[in-house]
Structure 1
């Protein structure tokens, strides 16, 4: 799969040899394939002018100027927190204050926001708590922070233009693709707020540009420039991946043509040795695997090196991780537990206390099952003296004296202090779950069921001999006799248990929901040992391997990203995105009837849909025609369609179709990377429609056909610039029409809002009610 459609005559190519042709790109790489397009005698005067370097640079400058103008226009409005600025602005504050936070996305883009805030003098005092909170009243230099995505979003436009030019497309076609991004309301709205997508798309576009430059040097393999663009591709690919979790799709999009390329080099018909293939494989492995992985790791290394203080993300992490953070509660307050300490125990996930009270289980449950009528053991959400349990040693321990530290794998009993009964579980079904065991208690002085009161203490990731600690000593309590783990869930018991949470024994002992911790030491043993424990010196953060912290963080990011399944009023399905069926309300001002509604430029988005459909139709029709012995498209044109346009299509598909497999919340802004790729497809299809050779057979009865004079771009004269000019004007007018929704100003009355609801599914605020509606 090639990425370059047409290229200008390059004197360097005259030095290539058959042995240097590294892959099956030869059909589209020969300069003679481009004669019809590049020969000045085949061009109109307008085209010859547009293809000069001066005109191309002027077009690039014009597009860049408009990109900056549209994205920086009224960037100070609104001076309030907008949509997900509540998250990403907050994260910038945490970087400045060096407080640890947790998020499902990699940290590069957020670190850049923190850097931008620090650069403009922000001290991190504002926490972006709510949409609509005032920046001005809280003295937040928000314009400087918004300038970062605005700048990168502006630079994406000339990069799109340069991608098309590097692929050999004409100036007017390259400007067409750039205009789709330039005048798009969704790209502009995302690009002028403290959000991640503009940064993601900027690095994605640089990745595509670098890879195209690398592929154009395939006949100068292993040259310094070849290596430079290969390493640039890997660098920007890592930046894309490190900016947002779905940046991994860009890695896949580049990986597909790389694998196709290597597969082609491996073809023995190309005349290459295995040593030659190995050199190419190792070069790509270094540039596109080793380097991106190293940079991705370095981003997290910097991230963790900055966030060294305790913060709101502590509770997501393991105790071992938390104890590496300065000021963390587990670091400061965790103490070694000793036998005969009285403690309160809490469930890690639901945070309820292990609780018991004198009331008994009913003789019969609602489903007719019989209980043990033992003392109730429940989960209770508030502090209470009935949450107090004393840690009792067992006869299996060689030393049962006070002061002995409780350690991993010790066998213990838990004595409920208020009722003087031991915690017990047995082979009786629990009240709500017949497959699980009931938890109850047993009188202290009755030894008849001693074995049923024995539990093994298993610290999470515990080592032999490791001490059990309050706060940080997460543990599982495993019943010795039946091998079940103490567990709870959010379903509440009936009124006979005061609607408290059920505690029962579950057979899947390693489930992450079976983890508990000691919250407080209510009463310690007395004596010299206790005195030594209370005189604890200030603790320094513990050291932990970066790779252990990185692995833990990556796993949590994947788990929590997959867990974002809650409903949202503006969530949408991928099938709706290309057609702009719905958008997202970012911000509203009810007093002035102003709003920001994220929606794309419908002219550009639907043009991209038409282009994608047209491309599929062209390829399909060509395949069918060739099966019947008809050659409607020349080999050179066909190769450009399959390789150059095909590469853009792969990028679009890879960034789009995986969302159909996700069960998490999805929004229209997830389509923006695919939209950029579809703009490249649209330009390529327009180039084919306007300029490529098409043969018109009079007879299709066999391979013998009559071909009239080929239709070329030169034959169209001013039609190409006129078509693109009209399209750009239509996009600009649509952009102006939707501008009040993009910039949040000026305010619109109900009728004006209704006029801008181009599709009935757009849920705009302040719309006028139809006549007769109350």
Structure 2
């Protein structure tokens, strides 16, 4: 989808492109493509190599500047900044082989751990608090920060090369690269221990590899064709293995591939139609290279993740007991105790950590919405240890079961010890959920007669086997009310004052919901010298990789979607293209220094404006065609729709889906889309000034039977030269504005020097919530 009908870069093998006749037989090229390739080659053969060196010199200078801007002053500040508390901590856990849980896939975090391993760090510092000193704790933080800085610096030449490989002129390549090079947000995000540098670099490599793959369309299934297809797939796997928003890159490439395959399927193609077996080969090759192989690489990083993290750690609580049995030194499993009938136990909710609790107070006669309650004894969730959290496990029949273990799927009753009442659920709506059942307790005489069945509950151990022993801590279970088949459930929304703002307990009809899970936190009735408390050595078990992977995937998606709480620096997607607000990363009161995550306003506004211009150009062109006015030649239109359109598609696919998300969102989520907007901006610079490679492209003009007379070429070359001069002038103006904006906001990006009140006020362009503004 690069839109280039033949590369304007010099062919290294000096070979003549395949003839139209042969290529048409393969169903992969057109006479126009072959003619254009020959013309391009002839023109470039007659030119000096100076044009190629112009690109190479510009690429070298831009790459050098990228490294300078990303690495300059990288040791400041020498303390933990913003989300370094998370990703630095994860690197330390890897180095100590301690299991942790995170909502992001492991690839980016493994790179940080690799850097720590390279420099011989032991991971003893856990990045607990923003502002903790790296120097005092002897942390090789510069090495950690060097990893994203390296990837961030390399992203800039990749952007340049995307434009170069797509056949754009040097001013267009420089503009796109410099919009990323001199962007404060890209710089700020790549100088800290954060994942976005890896994500953006992999996304840029995906676009570059696909452009190079598409340029090999004349020789399908050749060595280079396969190489760039597989590299595109590998880059895609790196994107999604860093953050799940990497799926947007899959959608971008998938859309381009779908358009390409749709064209290959057309029986009326001017190249000649493909047979269905040949089309199936094209489809299968893309499916393998862009779906199957990336998926296996994605699995590979999780295999590395599990292979490293073999010790019990803070991530244990997110996983099932079966998963935890694969970890050494697991405290929960080591301290698990069999639960016997008539034990007093404390039941704790796995997700909210609230205890099952009851007290003598009653539900009110009517709730605020007018519904009537049973006025029974309140059953709530309480977050602290209390005598009212104690429940006795009573068997179904009071026979001689003292000392017998409770087992999976057995029916039990729970007696509230303090009030001597029995837990019960019945067909009365709960306080907050009219569709869920109320939980209450009833006196013993009722529990043994009229309400006996309503007091029966099934112990259903998660992933448990029939007859499995019910244990504390490790025996995570769902308490299923036997007559009505609802699961005991709670949530964090507090009840009103009549329940002391404790948690609501109710019966959930959705038994499969993961938040129905509870566990026995403690058995207070067991004497300290009981043989049941004697610990026996536990052998680490093995669980199949895919089973562990599926469990971790479910937990990651669930907790990622649960990130809906408010944050003072969260922002909505409509704010991002206009840079309406940023994020405070770090402050130091004594020196008045601060790091405020913010893009270069000038660069962002230029790129966002030209996105709207591009949409307007397409609309105007379609309207003109409807009215019979063809204002563009075929080559320009092909470039506009295919190449620039591909970049615009990348922007749209990396931006629009955020409007569908309900989780917390921040400005850094826009960085991949901003990179795509920089590509659109460079492409439109060339379109607006109509700069073309100096070749005879009459083969693109409808109805042209032969090349234009050679006498016309000097005039065309003169016009193209004049347009190129104008393009350079426009580039100079735009770069002056962009570099000015970058330099003006540098103190907020690098964190020094500290700014005076007037200097801070001068940078609050759109009311940015900067510190030290007064």
1:437–1:506 CA contact under 8 A, matched in 2: no
Residue 742 (1) aligns with residue 749 (2): yes
Residue 464 (1) aligns with residue 471 (2): no
Residue 58 (1) aligns with residue 62 (2): no
User: Which residue of the partner structure matches residue 696 of structure 2?
Assistant: none
User: Which residue of the partner structure matches residue 14 of structure 1?
Assistant: 17
User: Which residue of the partner structure matches residue 687 of structure 1?
Assistant: 686
CA RMSD of aligned residues (A): 3.0
Distance 1:292 1:263 in 2: 23
- 1:713/1:554 Cα in 2 relative to 1: closer, same or farther (>3 Å)? farther
- 1:609/1:39 Cα in 2 relative to 1: closer, same or farther (>3 Å)? farther
Report how far residue 731 of structure 1 moved: 2.2
User: Which residue of the partner structure matches residue 293 of structure 2?
Assistant: 291
Report how far residue 34 of structure 1 moved: 9.0
Report how far residue 354 of structure 1 moved: 2.3
2:17–2:38 CA contact under 8 A, matched in 1: no
1:42–1:714 CA contact under 8 A, matched in 2: no
Report how far residue 419 of structure 1 moved: 4.5
1:7–1:34 CA contact under 8 A, matched in 2: no
| CA deviation profile, 1:330-368 (whole Å, cap 9, x unmatched) | 2211233232333221222332222344x3537845668
User: Which residue of the partner structure matches residue 697 of structure 2?
Assistant: none
Distance 1:635 1:33 in 2: 16
User: Which residue of the partner structure matches residue 764 of structure 1?
Assistant: 770
Structure 2: segments with no counterpart, 5+ residues: 694-702, 704-711
Distance 1:386 1:614 in 2: 67
User: Which residue of the partner structure matches residue 385 of structure 2?
Assistant: 383
User: Which residue of the partner structure matches residue 137 of structure 2?
Assistant: 138
Report how far residue 754 of structure 1 moved: 2.0
1:337-356 counterparts in 2 under 5 A?
A: 337-356=339-358
User: Which residue of the partner structure matches residue 548 of structure 1?
Assistant: 547
User: Which residue of the partner structure matches residue 607 of structure 2?
Assistant: 608
20, 30, 36: which one aligns with 1:32: 36
Distance 1:24 1:630 in 2: 31
Distance 2:593 2:32 in 1: 52
- 1:584/1:374 Cα in 2 relative to 1: closer, same or farther (>3 Å)? closer
- 1:16/1:255 Cα in 2 relative to 1: closer, same or farther (>3 Å)? farther
2:19–2:34 CA contact under 8 A, matched in 1: no
| CA deviation profile, 1:609-648 (whole Å, cap 9, x unmatched) | 2322232232222222222222211111111111111111
1:2–1:25 CA contact under 8 A, matched in 2: no
Residue 416 (1) aligns with residue 409 (2): no
User: Which residue of the partner structure matches residue 488 of structure 1?
Assistant: 490
| CA deviation profile, 1:577-611 (whole Å, cap 9, x unmatched) | 12222222211112111111222222322221232
Report how far residue 673 of structure 1 moved: 0.7
Residue 751 (1) aligns with residue 758 (2): yes
Distance 1:576 1:428 in 2: 46
2:7–2:37 CA contact under 8 A, matched in 1: no
Equivalent pairs, count: 745
| CA deviation profile, 1:628-673 (whole Å, cap 9, x unmatched) | 2222111111111111111111111100111111122222211111
User: Which residue of the partner structure matches residue 200 of structure 1?
Assistant: 199
Residue 442 (1) aligns with residue 443 (2): yes
- 1:514/1:76 Cα in 2 relative to 1: closer, same or farther (>3 Å)? same
User: Could you state the TM-score of these two structures normalised by the residue count of structure 2?
Assistant: 0.89
2:411–2:459 CA contact under 8 A, matched in 1: yes
Residue 405 (1) aligns with residue 405 (2): yes
Choose 372-381 or 297-306, whichever is displaced more. 372-381
1:142-291 counterparts in 2 under 5 A?
A: 142-269=141-268, 270-291=272-293
Distance 1:574 1:644 in 2: 26
Structure 1: segments with no counterpart, 5+ residues: 695-702, 769-774
- For the residue of structure 1 that corresponds to 2:241, the secondary structure is helix
User: Which residue of the partner structure matches residue 698 of structure 1?
Assistant: none
Distance 1:671 1:526 in 2: 57
Distance 2:513 2:661 in 1: 24
2:29–2:218 CA contact under 8 A, matched in 1: no
1:691–1:714 CA contact under 8 A, matched in 2: no
1:19–1:271 CA contact under 8 A, matched in 2: no
Report how far residue 677 of structure 1 moved: 0.9
1:469–1:518 CA contact under 8 A, matched in 2: yes
1:287-686 counterparts in 2 under 5 A?
A: 287-357=289-359, 359=360, 361=362, 364-365=365-366, 375-395=377-397, 400-428=400-428, 436-443=437-444, 447-449=448-450, 450-492=452-494, 500-524=502-526, 531=531, 533-686=532-685
- 1:28/1:180 Cα in 2 relative to 1: closer, same or farther (>3 Å)? farther
User: Which residue of the partner structure matches residue 699 of structure 2?
Assistant: none
User: Which residue of the partner structure matches residue 697 of structure 1?
Assistant: none
Distance 1:431 1:620 in 2: 55
1:571–1:665 CA contact under 8 A, matched in 2: yes
- For the residue of structure 2 that corresponds to 1:15, the secondary structure is coil
User: Could you state the TM-score of these two structures normalised by the residue count of structure 1?
Assistant: 0.89
- For the residue of structure 1 that corresponds to 2:393, the secondary structure is strand
Choose 313-322 or 278-287, whichever is displaced more. 313-322
2:576–2:667 CA contact under 8 A, matched in 1: yes
- 1:335/1:739 Cα in 2 relative to 1: closer, same or farther (>3 Å)? same
- For the residue of structure 2 that corresponds to 1:587, the secondary structure is strand
2:364–2:498 CA contact under 8 A, matched in 1: no
Report how far residue 406 of structure 1 moved: 1.9
1:408–1:468 CA contact under 8 A, matched in 2: yes
Distance 2:496 2:36 in 1: 83
